[in-house]
Structure 1
């Protein structure tokens, strides 16, 4: 565009130079006889009598100076246009580079996030693999239950009371088998009560087996919680095989998961989820005769919730009971009130300001939740990790985190006396936040750092003091 303007300006200059002083001079062109061209410049002035080059020179000098100035302007305009075009191309190129760099940076950040996510998954899988390897090693070390085969039918070998039976011996060809029985005399306190030997199933706790894993929680809400079975269910919809679970991590814990049996529980397939009318406080809930008993959040109120009718049946305040972190177990978790069930009914394990943090045991009416009788022990609640009731006896756990700890104290509500005991106990996953006894299953149920486990127990005769 600048070039076009310049050309127009040049044309104007030339025309103006040709049109100046039309009355003063004229230029004539003609051929001479020899064919040469002659240019004649005439001055139409009465004062000039002959041709003179001095009159033409100023005009030509003016035209030449104007042409030189015009060329300089055109050159300057063309150079400026080229520079402007070059600047625009450079700017566009720089913007393109910046955009490409930003895109590469975003892709690099996304790849870094994907890598970190995959690294976390690898760590989790490695942890699970290590746990499975430990479980497999434990299973390999556990002796198998031997059977005696006769005529293609397998029969489980069960010893009579006071007898130990060696596994069957095979001669090698499979055609002949010999069973050797050895009678071993066993002291009475170490007998395990089975069948009709003890109709109540009561006895003093002698030992606790290794933990058996049934399920691992798959989210942070499952770090600690409650899982149990009803030892004396009522109705037909829920049975003693039904498994109940509450994840106790959260601001408003209300969900109660019901599983058909332990197998479905292990698979993680609940058959129903009940929504409780009031939020749950910590891990002290228990199941008994078709109802869930639990402490309401931020209060000393106890609630009885019927799982069949899905309704709140009873609620009452536990007199003088500490709550919400005043006197919890040593692991914390607002475990001020711990409800428990055994062969003798429903219990509350807690403390009061009057007792100055000592463990208090109260037997409750399962219908009204009213206190029937209370006992005050001489053990501080905050010094023990957890507690449970078994045959009217209170047992406490020394540590919730030590992998090898003990059940360290027992209190007998029948005699009002207690004392130290030392029964080995394993916290396999090192954060045991719930421990309850189920007298129908004759097992301890525990929630150990995302892991839901059970322990077999071994009982001796109640009347034997040496146990």
Structure 2
């Protein structure tokens, strides 16, 4: 603003100085005989000025002074403008630095808080570890006194419990011991029972040797391994189906290496593909194809002792088909069994009747109107298909994805799509007791439509979204519970 005013004033200052200079000029007028007017304009020479030693007149000197003052004023105005601009830049720069410093300070404080929280957690874990170590040492140094029953062992052994941990395994032996050490406890004759848990770390190999291949007896399901892929179907008819190996082949024509496969997608499922062994199966080279006498419903079929057992389409009729003679052996209606979508597994597929085989024989897993959707288990005669005995569970069939039998125990799968799910329920036909369990299980391909157990291979066979896979299983020896 001051710069503009100064520049506007400059012309007026210069004109004013010129006007002062012309005050010393004079104009004279005269006439000649021809009656003409003559005008004479006279200006004083520089040497006639009052300051002959200077080369400038006072007026010029005044102009130069004013110009010098004006230049100084302009310089001050320009310096002020530049200073204002520099101050703004510096202010913005300082504000940015202050904000960045505040952000760094906040992050440092947060990291410090996180560090203190983690240190507290570490201290708490160390404290708990020290307490548990002291308690374990105390239990080892001061065992409970034991009383002996006449003519009997010192204490009765109870079924053992295994705790599975990924890096190592523990074997826990629970024993009931009679003790008279505490006089405050008096029940009847003064004796009372207390439970003592002795935890001993043992190598994992010791338990594994009892699990998968070396342990051939019956036991409870301990774990299921990761899926192993053997074949992927190459057409839409292979989205779901049945594939198995016979755990107990009876003749020499087919062996336990023979692989059987049925694609269950289609209106009329009758083709049974036969493969020489797992290698030919993986390469997709069938040995032959059998035509079934009746169309099959869903994925509940199974192979047992050179025979195929399956449900006839749109009925509760069970079919017993001989694989060696390639003929129908017997058929029978499963009493009161639901069919064709009344009580299927949660994935659907008309899986109302599911046939299974284990160490104890042939089973049917289904439901009835009387059971109101709860799973019913029936043991069948392998020749006539007559029901030998039945059990009703308390878990609904449409709430689980699939089921299979191991050593007379029913196991159910929680989900057919979740990549990491569980075996969530077991029902023991020997005791008629069911309970919830949690054995990890992986649906790698997110659509498990078939799950069956092969007791000879100690494997689960599954059909998972076009993929035919197996799972290694480990069973736990249960002592008195062995059957």
Query: TM-score by structure 2 length?
Result: 0.57
Deviations 1:369-405 (A, max 9, x none): 0000000000000000000000000000000000000
What is the aligned counterpart of 1:185 among 202, 208, 220? 202
Residues 340 and 189 (structure 1), Cα distance of their counterparts in 2 relative to 1, 3 Å cut: farther
Are 2:367 and 1:351 aligned? Answer: yes
Partner residue, 2:56: none
Residues 209 and 355 (structure 1), Cα distance of their counterparts in 2 relative to 1, 3 Å cut: same
Are 2:421 and 1:405 aligned? Answer: yes
- Local SS of the residue matching 2:273: strand
Are 2:265 and 1:249 aligned? Answer: yes
Deviation at 1:234, TM superposition (A): 1.4
Are 2:466 and 1:456 aligned? Answer: no
Deviations 1:217-243 (A, max 9, x none): 000000000000000011111100000
Are 2:436 and 1:436 aligned? Answer: no
Partner residue, 1:418: 434
What is the aligned counterpart of 1:388 among 404, 424, 440? 404
What is the aligned counterpart of 1:341 among 322, 332, 357? 357
> Which structure 2 residues correspond to residues 18-37 of structure 1 after superposition, within 5 A?
none
Contact kept in structure 1, 2:212 and 2:472, CA below 8 Å: no
Deviation at 1:203, TM superposition (A): 1.2
Partner residue, 2:130: none
Are 2:304 and 1:288 aligned? Answer: yes
Are 2:247 and 1:231 aligned? Answer: yes
Deviation at 1:463, TM superposition (A): 3.2
- Local SS of the residue matching 1:265: helix
Contact kept in structure 2, 1:336 and 1:351, CA below 8 Å: yes
Partner residue, 2:93: none
Contact kept in structure 2, 1:192 and 1:458, CA below 8 Å: no
Residues 192 and 350 (structure 1), Cα distance of their counterparts in 2 relative to 1, 3 Å cut: farther
Partner residue, 1:137: none
Alpha-carbon distance in 2 for matches of 1:437, 1:189:
24
Alpha-carbon distance in 1 for matches of 2:302, 2:346:
20
Contact kept in structure 2, 1:445 and 1:455, CA below 8 Å: yes
Alpha-carbon distance in 2 for matches of 1:411, 1:192:
26
Query: TM-score by structure 1 length?
Result: 0.59
Alpha-carbon distance in 2 for matches of 1:375, 1:211:
31
- Local SS of the residue matching 1:193: coil
Contact kept in structure 2, 1:328 and 1:335, CA below 8 Å: yes
Structure 1 stretches of 5 or more lacking a match?
1-183
Alpha-carbon distance in 2 for matches of 1:265, 1:442:
20
Alpha-carbon distance in 1 for matches of 2:268, 2:450:
19
Partner residue, 1:65: none
Deviation at 1:418, TM superposition (A): 0.8
- Local SS of the residue matching 2:382: coil
Partner residue, 2:325: 309
Contact kept in structure 1, 2:212 and 2:458, CA below 8 Å: no
Partner residue, 2:462: 446
Deviation at 1:193, TM superposition (A): 2.7
Alpha-carbon distance in 2 for matches of 1:232, 1:375:
25
Partner residue, 2:100: none
Alpha-carbon distance in 1 for matches of 2:237, 2:332:
28
- Local SS of the residue matching 2:439: strand
Alpha-carbon distance in 2 for matches of 1:192, 1:340:
27
Residues 320 and 188 (structure 1), Cα distance of their counterparts in 2 relative to 1, 3 Å cut: farther
Contact kept in structure 2, 1:192 and 1:460, CA below 8 Å: no
Alpha-carbon distance in 2 for matches of 1:448, 1:461:
30
Partner residue, 1:5: none
Alpha-carbon distance in 2 for matches of 1:326, 1:290:
31
Contact kept in structure 2, 1:189 and 1:460, CA below 8 Å: no
- Local SS of the residue matching 1:218: coil
Alpha-carbon distance in 2 for matches of 1:463, 1:417:
18
Contact kept in structure 1, 2:211 and 2:475, CA below 8 Å: no
Contact kept in structure 2, 1:189 and 1:461, CA below 8 Å: no
Partner residue, 1:362: 378
Contact kept in structure 2, 1:377 and 1:411, CA below 8 Å: yes
Structure 2 stretches of 5 or more lacking a match?
1-200
Are 2:285 and 1:269 aligned? Answer: yes
- Local SS of the residue matching 1:330: coil
Deviations 1:340-366 (A, max 9, x none): 000000000000000000000000000
- Local SS of the residue matching 1:389: strand
Contact kept in structure 1, 2:243 and 2:468, CA below 8 Å: yes
Partner residue, 2:132: none
Deviation at 1:462, TM superposition (A): 2.6
Are 2:394 and 1:371 aligned? Answer: no
